[in-house]
A and B are shown apart, each in its own frame.
Chain A
Amino acid sequence: MPADRLMPTPESADLVALTRSIVDKELRPRVDEAERSHSFPRDVFRTLGRAGLLGLPYPEEVGGAGQPYEVYLQVVEEIATAWAAVGVGTSVHALSSFPLFTAGTEEQKERWLPDMLGGDQLGAYCLSEAHAGSDPAAMRTRAVRDGDDYVLNGAKAWTTHGGEADFYTVMARTSDDGGRGITCFLVPADAEGLSADVPEDKMGLMSSTTATMLLDDVRVPVERRVGDEGQGLSIALAGLDAGRLGIAAVATGVAQGALDLAVRYATEREAFGKAIIDHQGLAFVLADMAAAVESARATYLHAARLKDAGRPYGRQASVAKLVATDNAMKVTTDAVQVLGGAGYTKDFPAERYMRETKVMQIFEGTNQIQRLVISRHLAR
């Protein structure tokens, strides 16, 4: 049963309807095979881009749709209900366009943003390094000014769309001044010296390529520097709260998909002469799953509405990321339980949902980091 949504405008309700029809016709029929064969669905992002779904939260003047986060996130959730990797990719793409939008010059935005938001250019976001995940200020990738170029050297870990993207938003160190020595660059995929390492052999999200990006004397013209030298970390951190909401929406979508599957199965599967949903022990598991999904949705929507209203929402974004991903982990694990032995096989997507959700407690700030953020807000 699709999620019951109260959309703020008729056009946002139409956007959700459009998303559902693209999801049903283009995503659902392909997800199983793509996950099995680890194949990245580049064309799906083009379809989403043409429909205008990749640039939803950005203003119409730069090729976006001027939609509030409240709407954008629900579209992301609908995508993730069918295909988590595409939901994650949509969120990562939005995140990778964010520094240019917030810190780029008008000229830079005019030149690059429309193609990025229109889906012709797929983005990746390079912040983490092998030894600098939760602590990005410890990054070592360097950018050294040389005439009209910067020369970048280093390795950026865990890059979603690594090797598949058309542009990389790269954070690199331009001075040794800790968190204030980091600068943001927009690096095109065909830059000489930029390459993707062998993709990670992951537990889930098989159709989404994750790789370390290697930068070996990559020359990036000054005109591709986003913001000033030293602004990189604050640009990156500014995007993280919004990125966390994206992941909260993705996790809620996967959980909704798992709930729908579990309810369908429990309605059809019989034991002791009746459908297993009519056995109270199992029915209550499903009820708890539904409560977890709906509370996750309410939590991320609250944070989104604060953001849309221009209010601070950092704490609520962390709460949403924490609640939505922890809830999704519980819901997807319980979905496997509801399906029993069948849930443990690859004949049903329950086990896939469970594998996919695990990473959501880890990336975009581990859930331990989220607790740190929340507790620091409380201590203020």
Chain B
Amino acid sequence: MTKIVVAVKYVPDATADRKFESDDTVDRENVDGLLSELDEYAVEQALQIVEEGEGEVTVLTVGPDDAADAVRKALQMGADAGVHVNDEAIAGSDAIATSLVLAKAIEKLEYDLVMFGMASTDGSMGIVPTLVAERLGLPAVTYGSEITVDGSTVTIRRDGDAASETVTAEGKVVVSVTDQTGEPRYPSFKGIMAAKKKPVDEWSLADLGVDAAQVGLDASGTQVESTAPRPPRTAGEIVTDEGDGGTKLAEFLASKKFI
């Protein structure tokens, strides 16, 4: 019986036109949001683990009202239960503050294994899994590309550029998984209907015993100084072949350090 908590994030659709608010936080109001695609891999791995043995998957998110959509999507995929930590005071929290909320919520749950995606598709920092592990006092194994559970032993393969390493962990552990673990499943109509009946708890900071002053924009350890839209794409450079086209192309590539 493996009890898995999968922490997921509700993010602005990466294919949409994303913007920042005046306080340099991400605009979450005017862009459609969804369950971070990288987190779907963690949900998929958790589901596979409990399908092979026995267990339960609880999906946990911290976010505003709409973040319930991310929980629902994971429940539609097959997770058993959801927890949504929703409190206005959390708005603007950075990775460190968010990790406090996540850790407190995880402590309230029964679990053997905590899983994360490798990073969010909006912040792209990839540090929350280790921050949460530190707060929980647990080992963290990040960027796993293959995860197996045998009793209380978790085996994780990590693929680097030059070598792969296989790590085993006994007891509780925090794992983040990459997009190489296997394509996440689609929900099915049955999953959509079943999700309506699955339990979702909504918790506030008070439920977790977290003081509002410990989180939010002001309490965050990092502050975004400024944001600027990426400059529009400029027209490409056209190389006219006057007998020396090949040379010019090679020079261009060399100037960009491609060759």
Interface set of A (CB-CB < 8 Å, partner B) = 10-11, 14-15, 18, 21-22, 47, 50-53, 56, 65, 67
User: When chains A and B are docked, how far (Å) is the Cα of A188 from the Cα of B83?
Assistant: 48
Smallest CB separation, A257 vs chain B (Å): 17
> In the bound complex, do residue B196 and residue A11 qualify as a contact, i.e. CB atoms below 8 Å apart?
yes
Q: Which residue of B lies closest to A11 (CB)?
A: B192
Within 8 A of A (CB), among B179-202: 186-190, 192-193, 196
User: When chains A and B are docked, how far (Å) is the Cα of A18 from the Cα of B76?
Assistant: 10
Smallest CB separation, B137 vs chain A (Å): 38
Besides the known contacts A51-B187, A52-B188, 20 further A-B residue pairs in the complex with CB atoms under 8 A apart: A10-B196, A11-B193, A14-B72, A14-B192, A15-B189, A15-B192, A18-B76, A18-B186, A18-B189, A18-B192, A21-B186, A22-B186, A47-B186, A50-B188, A51-B186, A51-B188, A52-B189, A52-B190, A65-B189, A65-B193
Contacts of B189 in A (CB 8 A): 15, 18, 51-53, 56, 65, 67
User: When chains A and B are docked, how far (Å) is the Cα of A83 from the Cα of B250?
Assistant: 41
What are 12 sample pairs from A and B whose C-beta atoms fall under 8 A apart? A10-B196, A14-B72, A14-B76, A14-B192, A15-B189, A18-B192, A21-B186, A47-B186, A50-B186, A51-B186, A51-B187, A52-B190
Contacts of A50 in B (CB 8 A): 186, 188
Q: Which residue of B lies closest to A65 (CB)?
A: B189
Contacts of B187 in A (CB 8 A): 14, 18, 51
User: When chains A and B are docked, how far (Å) is the Cα of A347 from the Cα of B142?
Assistant: 43
Smallest CB separation, B186 vs chain A (Å): 5
Tell me which of B72, B76, B188, B196 has the highest count of chain A C-beta atoms within 10 A of its own C-beta.
B188
Tell me which of A22, A50, A56 has the highest count of chain B C-beta atoms within 10 A of its own C-beta.
A50
Contacts of B190 in A (CB 8 A): 52
Contacts of A18 in B (CB 8 A): 76, 186-187, 189, 192
User: When chains A and B are docked, how far (Å) is the Cα of A51 from the Cα of B186?
Assistant: 7
User: When chains A and B are docked, how far (Å) is the Cα of A15 from the Cα of B196?
Assistant: 13
Contacts of A14 in B (CB 8 A): 72, 76, 187, 192
Tell me which of B72, B186, B189, B196 has the highest count of chain A C-beta atoms within 10 A of its own C-beta.
B189
What is the interface size of chain B, counting residues whose CB is below 8 A from a CB of the partner? 10
Q: Residues 58-82 of chain B: 1 if any A CB is under 8 Å from the residue's CB, otherwise 0? A: 0000000000000010001000000
Smallest CB separation, A322 vs chain B (Å): 31
Contacts of A56 in B (CB 8 A): 189
User: When chains A and B are docked, how far (Å) is the Cα of A368 from the Cα of B205?
Assistant: 66
User: When chains A and B are docked, how far (Å) is the Cα of A52 from the Cα of B187?
Assistant: 9
Q: Which 8 A-B pairs have the closest CB atoms?
A: A52-B189, A65-B189, A52-B188, A14-B192, A51-B188, A11-B192, A51-B186, A18-B187
Q: Which residue of B lies closest to A48 (CB)?
A: B186
Interface of A is mostly: helix
Smallest CB separation, A307 vs chain B (Å): 20
Smallest CB separation, A1 vs chain B (Å): 11
User: When chains A and B are docked, how far (Å) is the Cα of A37 from the Cα of B222?
Assistant: 54
Contacts of B186 in A (CB 8 A): 18, 21-22, 47, 50-51
Smallest CB separation, A7 vs chain B (Å): 12
Q: Residues 188-220 of chain B: 1 if any A CB is under 8 Å from the residue's CB, otherwise 0? A: 111011001000000000000000000000000
Contacts of B72 in A (CB 8 A): 14
Q: Which residue of B lies closest to A52 (CB)?
A: B189
Q: Which residue of B lies closest to A12 (CB)?
A: B192
Smallest CB separation, A86 vs chain B (Å): 15
User: When chains A and B are docked, how far (Å) is the Cα of A276 from the Cα of B196?
Assistant: 47
Contacts of B193 in A (CB 8 A): 11, 65
User: When chains A and B are docked, how far (Å) is the Cα of A15 from the Cα of B193?
Assistant: 10
User: When chains A and B are docked, how far (Å) is the Cα of A52 from the Cα of B186?
Assistant: 10
Q: Residues 74-96 of chain B: 1 if any A CB is under 8 Å from the residue's CB, otherwise 0? A: 00100000000000000000000
User: When chains A and B are docked, how far (Å) is the Cα of A14 from the Cα of B187?
Assistant: 10
Smallest CB separation, A340 vs chain B (Å): 21
Smallest CB separation, A295 vs chain B (Å): 26
Q: Which residue of B lies closest to A19 (CB)?
A: B186
Q: Which residue of A lies closest to B187 (CB)?
A: A18
Q: Which residue of B lies closest to A64 (CB)?
A: B189
Smallest CB separation, B17 vs chain A (Å): 12
Tell me which of B76, B190, B192, B193 has the highest count of chain A C-beta atoms within 10 A of its own C-beta.
B192
User: When chains A and B are docked, how far (Å) is the Cα of A21 from the Cα of B192?
Assistant: 14
Contacts of A47 in B (CB 8 A): 186
Contacts of B76 in A (CB 8 A): 14, 18
Q: Which residue of A lies closest to B15 (CB)?
A: A24
User: When chains A and B are docked, how far (Å) is the Cα of A362 from the Cα of B11?
Assistant: 45
Contacts of A15 in B (CB 8 A): 189, 192
Smallest CB separation, B234 vs chain A (Å): 15
Contacts of B196 in A (CB 8 A): 10-11
Smallest CB separation, A114 vs chain B (Å): 12
Smallest CB separation, A81 vs chain B (Å): 16
User: When chains A and B are docked, how far (Å) is the Cα of A67 from the Cα of B196?
Assistant: 16
Smallest CB separation, A213 vs chain B (Å): 31
Q: Which residue of B lies closest to A26 (CB)?
A: B186
Smallest CB separation, B8 vs chain A (Å): 16
Contacts of A67 in B (CB 8 A): 189
Q: Which residue of B lies closest to A53 (CB)?
A: B189
User: When chains A and B are docked, how far (Å) is the Cα of A47 from the Cα of B196?
Assistant: 23
Contacts of B188 in A (CB 8 A): 50-52
User: When chains A and B are docked, how far (Å) is the Cα of A53 from the Cα of B190?
Assistant: 10
Contacts of A22 in B (CB 8 A): 186
User: When chains A and B are docked, how far (Å) is the Cα of A11 from the Cα of B75?
Assistant: 13
Contacts of A65 in B (CB 8 A): 189, 193
User: When chains A and B are docked, how far (Å) is the Cα of A105 from the Cα of B209?
Assistant: 61
User: When chains A and B are docked, how far (Å) is the Cα of A67 from the Cα of B187?
Assistant: 16
User: When chains A and B are docked, how far (Å) is the Cα of A52 from the Cα of B193?
Assistant: 11
User: When chains A and B are docked, how far (Å) is the Cα of A65 from the Cα of B72?
Assistant: 19
User: When chains A and B are docked, how far (Å) is the Cα of A65 from the Cα of B196?
Assistant: 15
